[in-house]
Structure 1
């Protein structure tokens, strides 16, 4: 049985090799299901969600795309998809997607994993949430605030209303 105690020894994060990309593809179904609460998305006629656009590129463009698997006791518990934005003036890394299975939420795993990512990929970051996903907004403000000692800025996209946090992990 899963314990809510913070056992960082049981927490893991690693880049996913191409031969295991199906793990991310499978977890993506749960992620998209969670998003039905915040966005108007539906399953296909087969009862699954359409493939995530561009997911295959995370195993083709390995110099600019980083698919991470988040584990607990060596079992899949979530994932992160990160893009390196070469040539961008504002940011180096964009956290495209971040998912922790409900079973592991509020255990410290998400905070631990995100801090690991920020430490591994040093630079300027952008993290965005959907405007209707207030739990994610609260999580990221708290998590990034703790990581940066509240040294981040937040901007809201004027067209979509999605908030984004900007910060640097380069000097932490």
Structure 2
């Protein structure tokens, strides 16, 4: 029997927790993003952007819990790209201990399966595991999915999720 997965919407008081977990996320993508640590040995986090998860409508930071243990986080944003009226599954991070158990798929599916919203899902085209994850996830959604071209970040693959698949 799989362990129970819970999404917990965080509050501004949990910003340090999200900030700490984000360091692991940034580390894992640092080779693709060509990011370096600062003189304190930490990856850069744009604080005004981070605060928007608790201040801006349509934005949210969620902890992923498995059996009451922190397993990762999800960051949701309202897309600000021209012509895109959708929520964006901006960042999904699952700690290695909880990977390959369906946790990431279950969490992403909860958001993307929400028929009340259109969603934008973007993944780095050079990250083969992320692309495979996105493709498998999207293939199993009960909603229409369309790959779209966006010119802002050419290394990203972009998928719009919305409507009902017939």
Structure 2 length as normaliser, TM-score? 0.86
CA distance in 1, matches of 2:44, 2:155: 25
1:30-63 Cα shifts (integer Å, max 9, x gaps): 00000013220011111111124511111122x2
Is the contact made by 1:91 and 1:123 (CA closer than 8 Å) also made in structure 2? no
Q: 2:138 aligns with which of 144, 148, 156?
A: 144
Q: Which 5+ residue runs of structure 2 have no aligned equivalent?
A: none
Report the alpha carbon displacement of residue 161 of structure 1 after superposing the two structures with TM.
Answer: 3.2
Report the alpha carbon displacement of residue 68 of structure 1 after superposing the two structures with TM.
Answer: 1.2
Moved over 3 A (4+): 85-91, 156-159
Which of the pair has the greater relative contact order for Cα pairs under 8 Å at 6+ separation? 1
Helix, strand or coil at the partner of 1:147: coil
How many residues are paired up? 163
Q: Which 5+ residue runs of structure 1 have no aligned equivalent?
A: 1-5
Is the contact made by 1:65 and 1:82 (CA closer than 8 Å) also made in structure 2? yes
The residue correspondences of 1:59-70 to structure 2 (distance < 5 A) are 59-61=54-56, 63-70=57-64
Q: 2:106 aligns with which of 109, 112, 116?
A: 112
Query: What is the RMSD of the two structures over their aligned residues, measured on CA atoms?
Result: 2.3
> Quick one: structure 1 residues 104 and 35, their matched pair in 2 at CA, closer, same or farther if it must change by over 3 Å?
same
Residue 56 of structure 1 corresponds to 51
Task: Establish whether residue 155 from structure 1 lines up as the match of residue 148 from structure 2.
Answer: yes
> Quick one: structure 1 residues 33 and 100, their matched pair in 2 at CA, closer, same or farther if it must change by over 3 Å?
same
1:56-84 Cα shifts (integer Å, max 9, x gaps): 111122x2211111111111111111112
1:100-156 Cα shifts (integer Å, max 9, x gaps): 11111111000111111224572111100122112111101111210136x311134
> Quick one: structure 1 residues 86 and 44, their matched pair in 2 at CA, closer, same or farther if it must change by over 3 Å?
closer
> Quick one: structure 1 residues 166 and 44, their matched pair in 2 at CA, closer, same or farther if it must change by over 3 Å?
same
Helix, strand or coil at the partner of 1:43: coil
